[in-house]
Structure 1
Amino acid sequence: MTLIIAVAISFVLTYLIMTHNTVFNRPTQDVNSNADAVQTDTMQSLGDVYLPIRVIYHNDDTEKLVYNRKNNLMSNLQKQMAKWSLAKIGDPTKLNTKDYVERINQKNTIMMIYPDRITWQLFADTFKQKVKQSASDFVFDRLSVAQGKDQLTLTFMNDKTDTIRQAKVKGNYSTLTKLVKGADFTVPVKYIAMNKTVQMLFTESFRMNPYSYLVAYTPDNEFVNNLMGKVDSSSIKSRSDSDGTEYTSGSQKLNVAKSGHLVTYSEYGKKQAKTMTEKLENSFQTLKQVGITLRNIRYFSYDDNTGSISFRNYVEGFPVFQQTTRGAVQITPGDSTGLLEASFANSNLQVPVPSDQTAIAVQPTQNVIDTLVKQGYHRNRIERIQLGYRWQMDKQTDQVVDLIPTYYVRYYGQWQSYATWLKTDPNTVTDADDSAQKHALSNAQANAVDRVQQEADTSGVK
């Protein structure tokens, strides 16, 4: 009964959240008053979806992940940096791994991190800079702001190549530090080199709140109207079977699965997206066209092999896994044959539901590594560790989803929850890159993590 009442209350909150700034992903200070800054839930700007998702503040003493539950810290940082005017960006400098990691851990810096690579052209659009400030387009994962004697240095960093590019800029560093010091959630971190990549470690145990959210389901006809609405409705044919319903019209096809809340769409005749910037921009246009709620949706990964771009829900700066077998949204923009493919969830996060769940203690990341090694896993095959929220449907109602803090680990090319690896015999794990799964598991940020069974236990976070 308590949960039912909470759900009813949340329907009221849904209306309120549609019409007011909230703690989700909207800034409550420095709000731009022009029309472009007023976004509906489905019409987020390209800059909203492709913002960095993590902020690290390193003063003289400590290096911390910072987040503000009361307003959108990253959005407010972006608004300040959009006022800057960058000088010409320098040529790339290749560092060795040791020096590159030291640069990441540099003191007296504010670092903003993307979940995967982004392009300079897209950054310039998002941060209101002149594209011509770089002689050519380039990719990077993170940018660091450091204060000098009379100006700031902005460093663009590429984790895959250990390459940096720098630009001088006149800006107010104290304005940025004021924002990050106002964060109401901080946790100590450090970066290390781990098996040809850079890994962030939480260096201390901390408590992380599980959440319950009201879930809304998008009906089939909305997807049909949004994606196939330009054609005569009489030309749209539908066919249903035990797996779901298929809608077709000319070169367009829409499949709605009967279970799993996964919708897939394909269309021929699209212009080929040749560059990474074009693919990111085209994917955003498709994302808007789908019409799902974008309030919490953010860019998550780019796949070199397929050109696919993935998006996920983010809650308090952490990604949500296992919503479907492919995340929240996965889009492959027009390829050489003109084929566009998209898959997306018809389940959408709305507003938090009051919950009596207690905060969960998250152990230091190094403990996760040490425990896996002690169990027989090879340290040099642990490729990446990611902390996020596991999507788990509530046992009492399908109108509510529980989000449980969970570590995920990529080992031998395979992503599983930490709890799943602890239940697995290390001797039975084979290299996924030598199997037919190679391309499916090649994403730097692991869409395959969603294929993990939705377990109730949360070993590693308790």
Structure 2
Amino acid sequence: MRFKDKVSRVALRVSLIAMVVLSIILSAVIWGSDARFSRIEETSNQTQTKDLGQRSLRDIYLPTQTFYFKNKKMYQVYDTKNNLPLEFSKLTQSLRPLLPIRIWSSQTKYEKMLRNPNYIQLTYPDQITISLFLTNVRKNDSREFNRIFVSTTSSDYIYLGNDENHTLYCIRLNDVSFKTLIEHIRNAQTQMPVTLEKVHDDYLPFYEKNLSLPVYSYLTNEESDSYFVYRLLGSNNPTQHNNGNTITYSNGVYERLIAAKHTHNYEYIDYQQDQIPKTISRKLNDSLYFVRKIGLSEPDLRFFDADDNTVIYQNYVEEYPIFLPGKYKMRAQVKFAPNGMTINFNSLDLQIPIPTNGEKKTLIPTTEAMDELYQKGYHRKDIERIIIGYTAKSSNSKNKKLVDLEPAYYVKINKQWKTLDEWLNTNNQLDSAGKEGLVDGL
């Protein structure tokens, strides 16, 4: 009996030693594997991204306007029940061309496509790259486009169009059906008759009649300076300096954050980021990375405009950009330069839409707005774009967190965005625009 107990104790001890040795060996194999660490890092990043609520790159670089023909007449459409650009983005998310992309470049053929009633058109507010659209392939394809043509009779092809150089890219498809999307577009609740007119480098929608658009109200939220200081400068006790109407936070000599007192505007400068991205694709990707670093809320944030080394992102209500209070009017503006990168951003976050009494504001036809600019002394070549946007204004109510969004024409001249009224009330228009452009730096 004693012999059996002794054997059992020895066997148990040997088993425990073997298990410990095996555990050590397996741990060394698992934790010493680069692939294992990669998977852990990837999972961590995915969890972090999900927790931050960040949308995909395609959701930020999303078309903003949709057009179709009815009885050979073009209409701009919007549907509150169906997010039409998002539907299209989901349908083409995993798109892989069957053949190399074919190219045509002809102003005659391009303008013929613009008038072709057999195509639905979706447009971006400015040119993006093919590599942002075809995310699964052609990662370095920096060819640009701003318009998509979807056939109402066939799902075999789509065309990407560049208004600026009249180039069409033909993409052959497989197993993609736009039937439901086309039905939603044809049955959209809001349908406004438009014509496409060439303005500078774009074909823009001109509204033929007086346009009555709703006024919106939102409750807002604003993060404190400390939130942006922590995200941009870290937690190493940045220095603080009060200077008139601004507070400057510094992290050594390489980074600083300037906060305007009593407003929602900030300027962040990173002198270490002194390399200008070499391609437009890299520029668009990098700019979004830095915007996300700020920690702005993203639900309605979209790409809006790009000039030279500056990229702008705006919040949207329906298909229209929202211009915020302050010097820059933009939600976020990233400017790359050899002496450092600058981000101007607005912390005003529109959170909860408030039911209104149905108030609307009427805008004049676009041709009349252009005529007013001509009469003031602006030339057609000076006007880069004219669009409808929403102006964020403080509400008349006692609640300081309530703002109203009112529609207005916004005009881009000398790389600056202002309302039609602001341009009409500007003295020495072109000289003033040029001088302000050097300061505002679009």
The alignment's TM-score, normalised by the length of structure 1, stands at 0.76
Mapped contact 2:58–2:89 kept (Cα < 8 A): no
SS at match of 2:302: strand
> What is the SS of the residue equivalent to 2:299?
coil
Unpaired runs of 5+ residues, structure 2, are 1-45
**Matched residue, 1:67:** 78
Alpha-carbon contact 1:253-1:265 (below 8 Å) kept: yes
Aligned residues of 2:245 and 2:261 also touching (Cα < 8 A): yes
Aligned to 1:130: 137
Q: 1:148: Cα distance to partner? A: 5.4
Partner of 2:251: 249
- 5 Å-filtered alignment, 1:335-350, equals 335-337=337-339, 339-350=340-351
Would you say 1:104 and 2:111 are equivalent positions? no
Please give the per-residue CA displacement for 1:29-75, whole angstroms capped at 9, x wherever unaligned: xxxxxx99x96675222222111111112355332112222342211
Structure 1 position 182, deviation (Å)? 4.1
Take 2:281 and 2:89, find their aligned partners in 1: how far apart are those partners?
A: 20
Structure 1 contact 101–192 (Cα < 8 Å) conserved: no
Map of 1:302 onto structure 2: 306
- CA distance in structure 1 between the aligned counterparts of 2:372 and 2:113, rounded to whole angstroms: 29
- 2:163 equivalent to 1:172: no
Asked if 2 retains the 8 angstrom alpha-carbon contact of 1:143 and 1:157, the reply is yes
* Corresponding residue of 1:20: none
Instruction: Provide the C-alpha distance between the structure 2 equivalents of 1:245 and 1:441, rounded to a whole number of angstroms.
Output: 19
Give the alignment of 1:288-437 within 5 angstroms: 288-304=292-308, 307-326=309-328, 327-333=330-336, 335-337=337-339, 339-356=340-357, 358-373=359-374, 378-379=379-380, 381-396=382-397, 397-410=399-412, 415-423=417-425, 428-430=428-430, 435-437=434-436
Q: In 1, Cα distance between the equivalents of 2:202 and 2:101?
A: 24
What does residue 277 of structure 1 align with? 281
* Residue 17 of structure 1: aligned partner: none
Q: Higher relative contact order by CA 8 Å / sep ≥ 6: 1 or 2?
A: 1
Which amino acid in 2 is paired with 1:330?
Q
1:383-403 Cα offsets, whole Å, 9 max, x none, are 431111111112333211111
**More off after superposition, 364-373 vs 62-71:** 364-373
Separation in 2, partners of 1:144, 1:65: 14
AA partner of residue 394 (structure 1):
S
Deviations 1:4-44 (A, max 9, x none): xxxxxxxxxxxxxxxxxxxxxxxxxxxxxxx99x9667522
Q: Is the 8 A contact 1:187 1:204 kept in 2?
A: no
Q: Give 1:201 deviation, angstroms.
A: 0.8
Q: Residue deviations 1:276-334, cap 9 Å, x none?
A: 11121111111221112111111111111xx111111110110112433221101135x
Identify if the C-alpha distance between structure 1 residues 68 and 104 changes in structure 2 by more than 3 Å, giving closer, same or farther. same
Residues 376 and 303 of structure 1: CA distance in aligned 2, closer, same or farther (over 3 Å) = closer
Paired with 2:351 and 2:325, the residues of 1 have a C-alpha distance of 14
Unmatched runs of 5 consecutive residues or more in structure 1 = 1-34, 444-462
Question: Is 1:114 the counterpart of 2:119 in the alignment?
Answer: no
User: One-letter code of the match for 2:69?
Assistant: H
CA distance change for structure 1 residues 353 and 82 in 2, over 3 Å: closer, same or farther? same
Q: Does 1:209 align with 2:220?
A: no
Aligned-partner Cα distance in 2 for 1:220–1:432? 33
Letter in 2 for 1:262: N
Checking the alignment, whether the CA contact within 8 Å between 1:264 and 1:343 is kept in structure 2 is: yes
Secondary structure of the residue aligned to 1:76 is helix
Match of 2:28 in 1: none
Task: Check whether the contact 2:66–2:123 (CA below 8 A) recurs between aligned residues.
Answer: yes
**TM-superposition CA deviations, 1:207-247 (whole Å, max 9, x none):** 21011111111101111121122xx524x211223222211
Deviation at 1:411, TM superposition (A): 5.2
Find the aligned partners of 2:315 and 2:233 in 1 and give their Cα distance.
Answer: 25
Q: Is 2:120 aligned against 1:85?
A: no
Q: For residues 348 and 373 of structure 1, do their structure 2 counterparts lie closer, same or farther at Cα, with a shift above 3 Å needed?
A: same
Alignment of 1:17-36 (within 5 A): none
How far apart are the structure 1 equivalents of 2:101 and 2:75?
28
**Contact 2:257–2:267 (Cα < 8 Å) also in 1:** yes
Distance 1:439 1:157, change over 3 A: farther
* 1:266 corresponds to: 269
Query: Following superposition of structure 1 onto structure 2, how do residues 41-56 of structure 1 map, counting pairs within 5 Å?
Result: 42-56=53-67
Computing the radius of gyration from Cα coordinates, the structure with the larger value is 2
Aligned length: 391
